[in-house]
Chains A and B, each alone.
Chain A
Amino acid sequence: GQNIDQPTEMTATEGAIVQINCTYQTSGFNGLFWYQQHAGEAPTFLSYNVLDGLEEKGRFSSFLSRSKGYSYLLLKELQMKDSASYLCAVSPWRGANNLFFGTGTRLTVIP
């Protein structure tokens, strides 16, 4: 089976930086996704990593190390609206039926 682990909950202060980790053990690797999900809403795509290294998108960055089965999502200059769940998902192979999700990390941003 596919195993994807991330912390259940995190709390951080407005204006700070927070790093959300994800480790995975999958039968193969074809890419890693991060999604944001506000309470009661649909997951929305944040980032995609297929090669080792850092991908930056404004306040959000995502890092991947394939040899370690490890990724993190870095959120800078935290805002109250960043309070949400962050889902790590791994694609072990190409094509449909190809995305496995972790249980998500619920981030609470406090003033």
Chain B
Amino acid sequence: TAGITQAPTSQILAAGRSMTLRCTQDMRHNAMYWYRQDLGLGLRLIHYSNTAGTTGKGEVPDGYSVSRANTDDFPLTLASAVPSQTSVYFCASSDSRGSYTDTQYFGPGTRLTVL
């Protein structure tokens, strides 16, 4: 199985432009996440979704929005990009319906540069 796919692999974006990062999983996981990873700061949660139709804010949500119309897809939108949003973005998913904390599995990432 493919697991989690992300598109694009990398992108250079002019400041002020909008962009949607795509994430699709085929594991039927109920929960999905968007993280950004910056040197020296580690992975930080942007937004998450417990299940289709619901979303929530993570640690660094400002400037980003998400939607979860179905189980498989969890796009991340930057409405008006700024240089501080230059980062590597990882999508992840987990099956959190179990009786214990469930493992998150990560997609390959999108490297975004905002100029």
- Chain A interface (Cβ < 8 Å from any Cβ of B): 30-31, 33, 41-45, 48, 50, 87, 89, 91, 94-104
Asked if A91 and B90 make an inter-chain contact with CB atoms under 8 angstroms apart, the answer reads: no
Size category, B interface? 20 to 34
Contacts of A42 in B (CB 8 A): 90, 106-109
Q: What are the 3 tightest A-B residue pairs by CB atom distance, in nearest-first order?
A: A103-B42, A42-B106, A31-B101
Q: Are B42 and A102 in contact (CB under 8 A)?
A: yes
Bound CA span A96–B45, Å: 11
The interface-forming segment of B14-22, B48-56, B78-86 is B48-56
B103 at the interface (CB under 8 A from A): yes
| Known contacts A42-B90, A94-B101, A98-B101; A103 and B49 CB within 8 A of each other | no
Classify the secondary structure of A's interface with B: loop
Tell me the residues in window 60-109 of chain B with beta carbons closer than 8 Å to chain A beta carbons: 90, 94, 96, 100-101, 103-109
A97 CA to B45 CA, complexed, in Å: 8
Interfacial residues of chain B within 16-61, with CB under 8 A of chain A in the complex: 31, 33, 40-45, 48-50, 56, 58
Task: Give chain B's interface residues, CB within 8 Å of chain A.
Answer: 31, 33, 40-45, 48-50, 56, 58, 90, 94, 96, 100-101, 103-109
A39 to chain B minimum Cβ distance, whole angstroms, is: 11
* A104 vs B100: C-alpha distance when bound (angstroms): 24
In the assembled complex, which residues on chain A have CB atoms less than 8 Å from the CB atom of B94?
96
Minimal Cβ-Cβ distance residue in B for A90: B101
Is the pair A45, B105 in contact by a Cβ cutoff of 8 Å? yes
Which residue of chain A lies nearest to B39 when distances are taken between CB atoms in the complex? A103
